[in-house]
Structure 1
């Protein structure tokens, strides 16, 4: 391992996190809630190791793929450990581990919370809590590559380890340019949403926090009432539309910017993604119609929750714990499927599902006609055996880890529905589950050790398993 370069790189990431905390510090000073000191102390505490680590003399050796995976996994753990400090010092959390759960939920864009009344926190802490959604949405390392020059080979190893989806294709030859394009689109969409929320009558502070949560498909709200507290059909529909937009592969937006509209519209993943959303909305609307007054309200509630769960945003306007079993089962399926690859959403990813279904059908055809060649294609392009194999392995690891996390979590004594949906929610970066962690409840029901386990679950899901496995694997630390 290239230890010197890794230490120096992580040191610079710590300094960047300290710089990002200046924003909530300014917000805290503006509102005068008395929580500005927690950010000042954390910034100073982060500067010392950050400067020392960043100044470590680097070797000329480039980062290997293994180094890239180590940096990504270690970075997400370290920024969570540091990011939890102001939350814990500000109060409102029963322990540092609860604050760590909250901030890991923020960076991983999960939106699961241990707070019953987030409105009791100061404005600076609430801002930081939601701002972590925006930072983590596009990827911490993608942001770092935008502000910090790197060799292209080094940056590609980091992108492969962090960007969600079966592949990490390059939009343009240089990754720094790629990250700037991605964040440019991301920031522009966030600003458009912010303006539209303000036009809908949402307060400025709330608009920033909700826009951050929607863009990062996170789901933190600034009050216990959540989005429902604004009592606005306009805001619900607007957020539903933008959640879906942020759940689309950002490569599609880049193609649109280049004027390649036909190529963008050919995306099988986006077509399947929208098809699933429409189908689920219609089915849930029919299933819940008898429980809601008015067709318009029924469809709006169904659309919002489908968009929220499918994109793993986690906002809620109704308590779907009380929906019919069919609707609840449909939402659980959407939790697993998730959004598109290369989006800010989590989950298994629509593209993986498409490829696995096509591979299954190809295998059936091969059994019937063994001599026939049946390549698996997506968007008209054949999928190579290496990619197919990696997706199959990912699917196996996904199922094994969800079962393992659920099994360990059962030691905390909660019921099966609560534990299974808590793990699915955290692993797929969604937010609410069912039972004791339903949309009107919170994860404060779990003990400290269980919250740490679920924090690890969130980070493992956000980084799509393998960086975390490699971080704790023996092979990472040999040689």
Structure 2
């Protein structure tokens, strides 16, 4: 019974992804892109037919997945979705290498923003929109979207949401998990629509405004121009993107609290205060360092805050080639790659709250040395934190850094220099996109061998799913249960 339900949920999910190809199909029809029409029409017909069949089989008797079922289904969902998303790249002929197509699709859905395309401005508009759509769907979480619909199959969704949502603690913001998923998506859609309007006010056409808003709110970074946001040379557009990147890097449950009028929750939220402090302090530091290059403090702040927001939220947009900035500025950005956005945001990385937990625990260990008989605990949001959260965070960070080192070794085996190899591991697992050296903001990922791209693809999915969800599938205990 569980196996049949798993297949039906996956069929529904792939149907949702296929339906999201409709806007790209319409653009292909308007632009008369014959190959693009086929590229989106074929998977649309096949996958929606499968989804309708899954729905037509009727409801099951309220089956609730356990944790193991959730891990397996979510991992399969992301791998199958990435394969489906790669099909348009192959059929249109924008790349003849299936591994490149898979890499681009994984990068899109995981909101990494790493690309194998050297000339974006030669790509069909339908493909550019599809790349942005993969970002937007992956940002809030394709599984979160599915959770809102799985009651149609009679399936409980909390284990799916726990396996997919980023952050050390998973909380419902409403008693019903489907209501939680719907609220998160409504907030996401509202912020996206607002950014589209503001970008159009800054001079972007509707197509560029939509694609860049999708990429910003998803903290992805796929754009339509070869030199990213720098193409527009607009302070308005830079600041709009900066603000919305910062907003996308915040915990989305806080927006629900705002809608409820619970503004005190923002003032009490430890992670939010640390996150905003890091953004402000590092933006000022970088601005002071790059001031000679931009002449005025306002100009320096414009470029520094944009790049700081882009890196810490793991968006990956660029308005400057930061690989050419002074060493101190590059060092600050490099350190931000280890941080990431807030838990419950669309951003990747280790997450601010985990650093807060480890920092507070380190302070407790120092106090314990001074007062051996003392009892110390960490506090988050004005409440005492659970000890198992500390253990979980420590285990996650160790696993994260171990995977970074392993991916670095694989990339180094392809002849990459140490800086390029290490930063590529950091930015793929952290879903950041551009790094330093051979994968800097003015470079791309096309020149590496296929086996490296496959390892990066795995790293991107593992990073997007907070490592545990994917890594647990490789343990014998999981399959013996």
TM-score between both structures, scaled by the size of structure 2: 0.96
Distance in 1, Cα, partners of 2:146 & 2:222: 24
Q: Hey, what does 2:186 align to over in structure 1?
A: 184
Q: Per the alignment, in what secondary structure is the counterpart of residue 317 of structure 1?
A: coil
CA contact (8 A) 2:62 2:155 kept: no
Distance in 1, Cα, partners of 2:376 & 2:341: 27
Q: Could you list the per-position Cα deviations for residues 295-324 of structure 1 after superposition, in whole angstroms to 9, with x for gaps in the alignment?
A: 222111101100110111100010011111
Structure 1 residues 234, 152: CA separation in 2 closer, same or farther (over 3 Å shift)?
A: farther
Q: Hey, what does 1:453 align to over in structure 2?
A: 455
Q: Per the alignment, in what secondary structure is the counterpart of residue 363 of structure 2?
A: helix
Distance in 2, Cα, partners of 1:245 & 1:60: 37
Distance in 2, Cα, partners of 1:320 & 1:180: 38
Distance in 1, Cα, partners of 2:183 & 2:266: 16
How much does 1:107 deviate? 0.4
* Greater shift in the superposed pair: 223-232 or 46-55: 46-55
Q: Hey, what does 2:37 align to over in structure 1?
A: 36
Distance in 1, Cα, partners of 2:62 & 2:376: 46
Matches within 5 A, 1:56-71: 61-71=63-73
Q: Hey, what does 1:135 align to over in structure 2?
A: 137
Unpaired segments ≥5 residues, structure 2: none
- Measured on the aligned residues, the alpha-carbon RMSD in Å equals 1.8
Unpaired segments ≥5 residues, structure 1: none
How much does 1:59 deviate? 7.5
Q: Hey, what does 1:99 align to over in structure 2?
A: 101
Distance in 2, Cα, partners of 1:266 & 1:294: 36
How much does 1:150 deviate? 6.4
How much does 1:420 deviate? 0.7
User: In the alignment, is residue 444 of structure 1 matched against residue 446 of structure 2?
Assistant: yes
How much does 1:394 deviate? 0.5
Matches within 5 A, 1:232-271: 232-271=234-273
CA contact (8 A) 1:198 1:207 kept: yes
How much does 1:226 deviate? 1.3
Q: Could you list the per-position Cα deviations for residues 19-70 of structure 1 after superposition, in whole angstroms to 9, with x for gaps in the alignment?
A: 2212211122123233111101222343466566777796865311000011
Equivalent residue for 2:410, pick from 396, 408, 415? 408
Q: Hey, what does 1:23 align to over in structure 2?
A: 23
Q: Hey, what does 1:287 align to over in structure 2?
A: 289
Structure 1 residues 45, 412: CA separation in 2 closer, same or farther (over 3 Å shift)?
A: farther
User: In the alignment, is residue 469 of structure 1 matched against residue 450 of structure 2?
Assistant: no
Structure 1 residues 413, 48: CA separation in 2 closer, same or farther (over 3 Å shift)?
A: farther
How much does 1:153 deviate? 8.3
Q: Hey, what does 1:10 align to over in structure 2?
A: 10
Q: Per the alignment, in what secondary structure is the counterpart of residue 337 of structure 1?
A: coil
CA contact (8 A) 2:150 2:157 kept: no
* Greater shift in the superposed pair: 52-61 or 121-130: 52-61
How much does 1:367 deviate? 1.7
How much does 1:2 deviate? 3.0
Q: Could you list the per-position Cα deviations for residues 130-174 of structure 1 after superposition, in whole angstroms to 9, with x for gaps in the alignment?
A: 011110111111111223426998311111111101111110110
CA contact (8 A) 1:249 1:343 kept: yes
Matches within 5 A, 1:87-236: 87-149=89-151, 154-236=156-238
Aligned residues: 479
Distance in 1, Cα, partners of 2:107 & 2:94: 16
Q: Could you list the per-position Cα deviations for residues 183-222 of structure 1 after superposition, in whole angstroms to 9, with x for gaps in the alignment?
A: 1111101000000111111011111100000010000011
CA contact (8 A) 1:240 1:304 kept: yes
CA contact (8 A) 1:110 1:313 kept: yes
Distance in 1, Cα, partners of 2:253 & 2:292: 41
* Greater shift in the superposed pair: 16-25 or 198-207: 16-25
Structure 1 residues 78, 32: CA separation in 2 closer, same or farther (over 3 Å shift)?
A: same
